[in-house]
């Protein structure tokens, strides 16, 4: 079997659609469709069948999937063996990171790394969905979690604190009138969605946001209160904390890598660089406003991070 054909087949099996596979593999949907038809002709069997939601594997397709997964494991094993022994600070480095954190806090650190190691081709993929390090969809993952995968190795760089924010004028009105604040519906991540549901009880939402910066903009417009990480909320002069942070909402900011890459020079250089960069501004993540502002005033290197949003 042609390994390229099997990669396409596996992507269809995992995404459940030709369009999803095409997006994942960065090819045309017509290419996926053609290669799938050619595979079925060669094998003399149907591998997928269309249903209401996409495609599902036939019995033959399930058997091919298991064989393809075994081939994938072997192929990735060879790749990891070679790249894991790479001691040169050169080559590509693909990093999957957090969508809402990257433009605000992490980009300056990424830029400094790129300037320091110009022979490393740094590829940043900002998303709140998981990329598989085992399948080499990324070399390094920066993730907010308290339960990192047991199959990865990494380091908890800092604790990220969140709390509820509101527009200053809106909160003054709520407190003066002794009203219950309106809650903005948030769907930017499972954490904020769950915390909001627990905090506002049965209160219905008439406004929803799917992104932290949309939530920030909605809060600034006086539409209600919502959870934000302190590195966003504390840096905006129009916002005020509705309450102090709850330690049960603390999350770890982790830098994670696959065990096969633990001796790869460019991976270790990036890990150490990011750990040092995050430590320098840890007070921003931890919601220690006074300490962070003293440091910012002392060294003059950190501009107001969210003025542009």
The DSSP code sequence of 43-82 is HTS--EEE-SSSEEE-HHHHHHHHHHHHHHHHHHHHHHHH
Binning pLDDT at 50, 70 and 90, where does residue 246 land?
A: very high
pLDDT of 306 higher than 70: no
Binning pLDDT at 50, 70 and 90, where does residue 52 land?
A: confident
pLDDT of residue 131: 53
Please determine, looking at this structure, whether the domain spanning 3-83 carries the CATH number 1.10.10.10. yes
Binning pLDDT at 50, 70 and 90, where does residue 120 land?
A: very high
pLDDT of 304 higher than 60: no
pLDDT of residue 289: 64
The DSSP code sequence of 287-302 is T-HHHHHHHHHHH---
CB 238, CB 220: distance < 8 Å: yes
pLDDT of residue 61: 87
CB 95, CB 270: distance < 8 Å: yes
Question: Which DSSP category does 102 fall into?
Answer: I
> Measured between alpha carbons, how far is 156 from 256 in angstroms, rounded to an integer?
9
CB 48, CB 33: distance < 8 Å: no
The residue extents of the domains of the chain are: 3-83, 91-156+252-280, 162-249
Binning pLDDT at 50, 70 and 90, where does residue 76 land?
A: low
pLDDT of residue 16: 86
Q: What is the mean pLDDT of residues 255-264?
A: 85
> Measured between alpha carbons, how far is 6 from 2 in angstroms, rounded to an integer?
6
Binning pLDDT at 50, 70 and 90, where does residue 152 land?
A: confident
284 CB contacts (<8 Å, ≥6 apart)? 105, 230, 231, 234, 235, 292, 302, 305
**For the segment 78-109, what is each residue's pLDDT rounded down to a tens digit?**
554 544 455 568 888 999 998 889 888 999 99
- Please determine whether the domains at 91-156+252-280 and 162-249 fall in the same fold group of CATH: yes
pLDDT of 53 higher than 90: no
pTM: 0.65
pLDDT of residue 295: 47
pLDDT of 122 higher than 60: yes
- CATH level 2 (architecture), domain 162-249: 3-Layer(aba) Sandwich (3.40)
Question: pLDDT averaged over the chain?
Answer: 83
CA distances (Å), origin 77, targets 9, 43, 134, 200, 271:
20, 27, 10, 48, 22
In the chain, the percentage of residues whose pLDDT exceeds 90 is 39
**Do β-strands 239-241 and 55-57 pair in parallel, antiparallel, or remain unpaired?**
unpaired
Q: Specify the CATH number of the domain 91-156+252-280.
A: 3.40.190.10
**For the segment 25-46, what is each residue's pLDDT rounded down to a tens digit?**
888 989 999 989 988 898 889 9
């Amino acid at each position: 079997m042609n390994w390229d054909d099997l990669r396409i087949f596996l992507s269809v099996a995992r995404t459940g659609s030709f369009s999803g596979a095409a997006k994942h593999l960065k090819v045309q949907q017509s290419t996926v469709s053609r290669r799938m038809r050619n595979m079925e002709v060669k094998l003399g069997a149907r591998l997928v069948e269309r249903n209401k939601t996409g495609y599902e594997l036939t019995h033959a397709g399930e058997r091919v999937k298991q064989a393809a997964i075994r081939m994938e494991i072997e192929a990735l094993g060879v790749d990891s063996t070679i790249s894991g022994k790479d001691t040169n600070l050169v080559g590509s480095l693909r990093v999957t990171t957090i969508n809402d954190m990257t433009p605000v806090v992490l980009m300056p650190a990424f830029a400094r790394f790129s300037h320091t190691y110009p022979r490393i081709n740094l590829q940043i993929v900002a998303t709140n969905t998981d990329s598989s390090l085992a399948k080499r969809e990324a070399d390094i993952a920066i993730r907010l979690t308290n339960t990192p995968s047991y199959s990865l190795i990494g380091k908890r760089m800092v604790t990220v604190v969140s709390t509820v924010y509101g527009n200053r004028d809106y909160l003054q009105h709520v407190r003066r009138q002794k009203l219950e604040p309106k809650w903005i519906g948030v769907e930017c991540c499972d954490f904020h969605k769950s915390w909001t549901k627990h905090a506002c009880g049965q209160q219905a939402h008439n406004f929803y946001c799917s992104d932290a910066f949309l939530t920030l903009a909605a809060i600034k417009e006086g539409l209600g209160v919502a959870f934000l990480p302190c590195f966003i909320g504390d840096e905006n002069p129009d916002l005020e904390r509705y309450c102090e942070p709850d330690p049960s909402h603390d999350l770890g900011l982790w830098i994670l890598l696959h065990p096969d890459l633990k001796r790869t020079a460019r991976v270790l250089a990036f890990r150490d660089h990011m750990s040092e960069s995050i430590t320098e501004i840890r007070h921003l993540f931890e919601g220690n406003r006074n300490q962070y502002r003293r440091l910012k005033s002392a060294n003059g290197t950190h501009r107001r991070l969210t003025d542009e949003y």
